[in-house]
C-alpha cells in the first residue's frame, strides 16, 4: 500500500500494488507537469479525502480526467479508461510518500505523436 497526496494535503489517497515502472509522456500537458505516471486499476486507488476536494481539467478528446488541487496546484492523479474499457487511475508517483524515484524504471511515451 502506498500513500500519497498533493502538496498541501487537501487531496490524499492510497494505492495498492507494486510499482514496476513509470511512464513519462511528452504530450502538451504531461511535459509541462513533469509527471511520472503509474497506471493501476481504479479499484486499487482509494481517496482518503472527499472527491470534490480535487478540481478536474480535460482537454483534447476529453477522455482523461486530470485531477489537481485548487489550493496548491499539484496534479497527483488522473482517471480514465484503458483500451479494453476498464477504469484506471494514473498516479503521479512524484506525489507518493517514501518513494525512491531513482530506483523506478521510466519508460518514455510519445504522446505528441497522437
Tens of pLDDT, residue by residue, the chain (114 residues): 999 999 999 999 999 999 999 999 988 888 899 999 999 999 999 999 999 999 999 987 778 899 999 999 999 999 999 999 999 999 999 999 999 999 999 999 888 876
CATH number at residue 88: 2.170.150.70
Position 95 in a domain: yes
Cβ-contact 90, 75 below 8 angstroms: no
Classify residue 114: in a domain, yes or no.
Answer: no
Give the span between the Cα atoms of 12 and 54, in whole angstroms: 10
Residue 64 domain-assigned (yes or no): yes
pLDDT of residue 114: 63
Spell out a b/e string for 41-70, using b for 16 or more CB atoms within 10 Å of the CB, else e. Answer: eeeebeeeeeeebbeeeeeeeeebebbbbe
Query: What range does the domain containing 25 cover?
Result: 2-109
- Number of domains the chain contains: 1
Q: Is residue 37 part of a domain?
A: yes
CB 17 within 8 A of CB 90: no
What are 37's three cell numbers?
505516471
Amino acid at each position: 500500500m502506498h500513500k500519497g497526496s498533493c502538496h498541501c494535503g487537501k487531496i490524499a489517497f492510497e494505492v495498492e500494488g507494486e510499482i514496476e515502472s513509470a511512464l513519462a509522456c511528452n504530450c502538451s500537458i504531461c511535459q509541462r507537469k513533469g509527471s511520472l505516471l503509474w497506471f493501476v486499476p481504479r479499484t486499487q486507488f482509494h481517496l482518503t479525502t472527499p472527491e470534490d476536494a480535487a478540481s478536474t481539467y480535460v482537454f483534447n478528446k476529453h477522455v482523461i480526467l486530470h485531477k489537481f488541487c485548487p489550493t496548491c496546484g499539484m496534479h497527483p492523479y488522473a482517471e480514465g479508461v484503458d483500451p479494453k474499457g476498464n477504469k484506471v487511475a494514473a498516479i503521479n508517483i512524484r506525489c507518493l510518500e517514501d518513494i525512491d524515484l531513482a530506483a523506478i524504471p521510466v519508460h518514455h511515451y510519445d504522446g505528441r505523436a497522437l
